[in-house]
Amino acid sequence: MADVARAVGVSTGTVSRALRGQPGVSDAMRRRILRAAESLDYVVSPAASGLVTGRTGSVAVLVPFISRWFHAQVLAAAHQVLRGSGFEIVLYHVEGTAERREFFETLPVRRRADGLVVIALSLTDEELARLNGLGMPVVGASTDLGPAPAVGIDDVAGAAKAVRHLANLGHRRIAMIRSTDEEGFHGGVSRRRLAGYEDAMTESGLEVDPALVVSAPWGIDGGARAMGELLSQRTPPTAVFAEADEIAIGALRTLRRAGIAVPGEMSVIGFDDSPMAELLDLTTVAQSVHEQGLIAGRMLVEAVQQARVAEPAVRLETRLVPRGTTSARPGRPGTAG
C-alpha cells in the first residue's frame, strides 16, 4: 500500500480510504489511486486489515458429509450468498467422529472467521455450548441450535405427510426405516421424523408396532439391509417410509432383487426429493434444499453485519411428491398411484 501511496503521492491513509470506497477522498484522487493500485497489481493484505479491524472477512461452514447430495446442495447455496456478500468461505468438513471431536475441542474457527454456519448436524448439549461460547454469530441450516438462528423444515410434519399418504392409500402395516447414526450426526432429524411417523399412525388409527421400526446405517446399503429385515418378519408391512431417499433406494434394491413388485406388492416412500428419487421414480417428500442454504447464508450475513437476525427461525414447507413407488394396498380397491 505504501507503494501505491508513493506512486500517487499521497498518504497510505488516503489510499486506504480510496480503496474501500470511504468518504473523504475526492473523485479525481480516488480514480488515480485505483489506477495505480491496478497497475501495481496491489491487493490489500487481509491479515493486516484484519489485525486492525478485528474482522477476518471470512465465514466458516461446518458440514458433515459433503458428498451427500443434501449437504453439497446446502453448502453450494450458502456459498453463493456468502461470496456475494464479499466473504470468503472456510470449510470444515467433519466426516467422522474423530474429526468432529477435533473440531469442537480445538475450535479452529476462533479468530479465523466472523461467523459460522452449521449444516445438518445434530449437536450435543456440550457442542452447542461450545458454539455459543465462540463469540461469533452461528446459524444453522437443517440444524437445531437452540437460541441461535436457524432455517429448516418441520420434520415431524413432513414425515407425517409421507405416512398419511400411505395410510390414505389404505395401508395399515406401515414400516419405517431409520438410520442408526451411532455417531450422532443426524439423530435429531431421525427422531423428529420418527415422531411424525408415530403421529400420523395414531392419527390414522393405526397401531405403532415397534417391530415395524427398523434401523440401519445411513445410505443405500443400510436401506437395503433394513428392507431385508422387514421382509423376514412374520407379518411384513405393505408399505415403508424411509427416513431419506438414499435409504428408500436401498430398500427398492432389496425389493427388486427379492422379486417383490413395487408398488404392486409394496409401497415405498422416501424423504428429501433428491435427483436419485426422481430418476428412480420414487415417491418422496420434497424440501427446498437450495433455499435453506440461501436463507442460512443471508441469516449469517445479517448476523455478522447487523448483529441481529430479523427472522431467526425459518421453517420451510415440505411437499408430498407422489411418484411411481406408492399405490393402494394390495387386495383392496382404491386409488391406484
Q: In this chain, which of 39, 53, 124, 202 binds DNA, going by CB under 7 A?
A: 53
Phi, psi of 142 (to 5 degrees): 60, 35
Q: Are strands 174-179 and 213-216 parallel, antiparallel or unpaired?
A: parallel
Please name the residue that has the C-alpha cell 415395524.
Answer: 212
Contact between 29 and DNA per CB under 7 A: yes
What CA–CA distances, in Å, run from 326 to 10, 166, 215, 275, 330?
A: 73, 7, 21, 18, 11
For residue 57, state whether it binds DNA (rule: CB under 7 A).
Answer: no
Question: Residue 30 half-sphere exposure, CB side, CA atoms within 13 Å?
Answer: 11
The reply on whether position 24 binds DNA by CB under 7 A is yes
Supply φ then ψ for residue 70, to 5 degrees.
-55, -50
Q: Are 159 and 192 in contact (CB under 8 A)?
A: yes
Q: Sort 311 into a burial class: Cβ within 10 Å, 0-12 / 13-18 / 19+.
A: exposed
Q: Is 89 exposed, middle or buried, given 0-12, 13-18 or 19+ CB atoms closer than 10 A?
A: middle
111 binds its own copies (CB under 8 A): yes
Give the nearest distance from C-beta 5 to DNA in angstroms. 7
Q: How far is the CB of 20 from DNA (least distance, A)?
A: 5
25 binds, among DNA, its own copies, none (CB under 5 to 8 A by kind): DNA
Of its own copies, DNA, none, which one does residue 112 interact with (CB within 5 to 8 Å by kind)? its own copies
By CB under 8 A, name the one of 23, 105, 259, 279 that touches its own copies.
279
| Least separation in angstroms between CB 259 and its own copies | 16
- For position 258 contacting DNA by CB under 7 A, the verdict is no
C-alpha distances (whole Å) from 32 to each of 16, 21, 44, 95, 171 are: 13, 13, 17, 49, 75
Q: Please name the helix (run of DSSP H) or strand (run of DSSP E) that holds residue 253, with its range, or none.
A: helix 245-258
Q: Which of residues 42-101 bind its own copies (CB under 8 A)?
A: 43-48, 50-51, 56, 58, 61, 66-67, 69, 72-73, 75-76, 79-80, 83, 88-93, 95, 99
Q: Does 39 bind DNA (CB under 7 A)?
A: no
In the set 6, 49, 69, 95, which binds DNA (CB under 7 A)?
A: 49
The yes or no reply on residue 134 touching its own copies (CB under 8 A) is: no
What residues line the site for its own copies (CB under 8 A)?
A: 43-48, 50-51, 56, 58, 61, 66-67, 69, 72-73, 75-76, 79-80, 83, 88-93, 95, 99, 107-108, 110-112, 220, 249, 253, 275-276, 279
What residues line the site for DNA (CB under 7 A)?
A: 1-2, 9-14, 16-17, 19-20, 22-29, 42, 44-45, 48-49, 51-53
